[in-house]
Amino acid sequence: KKKELMIYKEQPSVTKDGHHIEIGANIASPDDVEPALENGAEGVGLFRSEFIFMNRTEAPNETEQYIAYKAVLEGMGKRPVVIRTLDAGGDKKIPYLNIPEEMNPFLGYRAIRYCLVETDLFKVQLRALMRASVFGNLKIMFPMISSVEEIRNSKKILDEVKSELDAEGIAYDPNVEVGIMIEIPAAAVISDVLAKEVDFFSIGTNDLIQYTTAVDRMNENIKALYTPYHPAVLRLVHTTIKNGNAGGIWVGMCGSVAGNPLIFPILIAMGLHEFSMSPGQILKSRKIASLYTLEYLNEVLAHVLSLGTAEEVETYLKATFTH
Ligand code: PEP
Ligand code: MG
């Protein structure tokens, strides 16, 4: 079965009628680059940088981070590489960061909220990223954005880092794209506004489902309520894609839904441009894209959007896509 899929390895990702998308890999370390390429990744759509902060007793210094980012960029050659800045907190506990115990860690002091306070730590990461940027096609992404202010404050710190590098005569790529995760409903709702502030969006469905449905993504007792088929989730995803496209920026998805074989095809119809998933899902998804025309997928999408319950959506998609 795997062998059968290998014919898709060197091929572009296109629908049956030639509509082009990009399929990249989610990675957590430089060691993941090789398996990503072996599985036909056209880029890295999400490097979860917090993993290089985990299982240690102190934060990696600028040099250590630079080495890791450079390895990923060099390994991917000219292909795009989206590196997400530190997404600590919530489910990702990093003890030495001293994030206090909280009643609701998923709603707490985490990710960009932490980095905008601990700016010294944030700047070390941004310096390492910008220094590594000369070795490939880097895009920087901020996690857990809920407002315009957080974007502007993050970009201001990035500008400070660039000025400091300029003053020190250290080279970097001045054209590095800056984007945000859309994983909080507030961000999806104002995505028309946010599109004016950044170069791209990447939809994080793992958290977007959790926050939209108020279902803790780690809670086994309510896991039946944690569903990507909920019409509210699909509407927010659709809104985000439309607003991004209308605003002239590219929109991707790096949450698990990107690799869901039943939802993946309708995301193409929604106008999603870039998909990032576990390396093992890439070739299968490329094959699925090749099976359908955009016109057909538009019809399926229109029907999905007319349905009122998660169960109806799931049942319809299962009956429609037999791939
Ligand atoms: C997401 O929330 O969908 C996402 C990609 O980020 P993480 O799973 O790391 O929270
Ligand atoms: Mg997330």
Q: Given the CA of residue 204, which atom of ligand 1 is nearest to it?
A: 3
Q: Ligand 2: distance of its center to the CA of 204 in Å?
A: 5
Q: Ligand 1: distance of its center to the CA of 174 in Å?
A: 27
Within 10 Å of residue 120's Cβ, how many Cβ atoms?
7
Q: Ligand 1: distance of its center to the CA of 167 in Å?
A: 36
CA separation for the pair 5, 137 (Å, rounded) = 27
Task: Please give all residues whose beta carbon lies within 6 A of any atom in ligand 1, as ranges.
Answer: 46, 48, 87, 183, 204-207, 254-255
CA separation for the pair 139, 126 (Å, rounded) = 12
pLDDT at residue 92 in the model: 86
Q: Which ligand is nearest to the CA of 252?
A: 1
Q: Which residue has the least CA distance to atom 3 on ligand 1? A: 204
The model's pTM is 0.98
Q: Which ligand is nearest to the CA of 26?
A: 1
Tokens of 66: 């630079």
User: What's the chain's length in residues?
Assistant: 323
DSSP track, 2-25:
HHHHGGGTTS-EE-TT--EEEEEE
Q: Which residue has the least CA distance to atom 4 on ligand 1? A: 204
Residue 322, burial from CB neighbour count under 10 angstroms (0-12, 13-18, 19+): exposed
In this predicted model, what pLDDT tens digit does every residue of 289-309 receive, in sequence order?
999 999 999 999 999 999 999
Please state, rounded to an integer, the average pLDDT across all residues of the chain: 97
Q: Given the CA of residue 205, which atom of ligand 1 is nearest to it?
A: 3
pLDDT at residue 30 in the model: 98
CA separation for the pair 23, 8 (Å, rounded) = 12
In this predicted model, what pLDDT tens digit does every residue of 220-261 receive, in sequence order?
999 999 999 999 999 999 999 999 999 999 999 999 999 999
Q: Ligand 1: distance of its center to the CA of 5 in Å?
A: 27
Q: Which of 26, 47, 83, 87 should be mutated for ligand 1, with most atoms under 8 A from CB?
A: 87
Q: Which residue has the least CA distance to atom 7 on ligand 1? A: 206
In this predicted model, what pLDDT tens digit does every residue of 189-225 receive, in sequence order?
999 999 999 999 999 999 999 999 999 999 999 999 9
Q: Which of 106, 107, 207, 233 should be mutated for ligand 1, with most atoms under 8 A from CB?
A: 207
Confidence check: pLDDT of 90 > 90: no
In this predicted model, what pLDDT tens digit does every residue of 48-76 receive, in sequence order?
999 999 999 999 999 999 999 999 999 99
What residues have CB less than 8 Å from 224, skipping those under 6 apart? none
Helix (H) or strand (E) holding 139: strand 137-142
Q: Ligand 1: distance of its center to the CA of 204 in Å?
A: 5
End-to-end CA distance of the chain: 13
Q: Which of 183, 253, 281 should be mutated for ligand 1, with most atoms under 8 A from CB?
A: 183
pLDDT at residue 6 in the model: 95
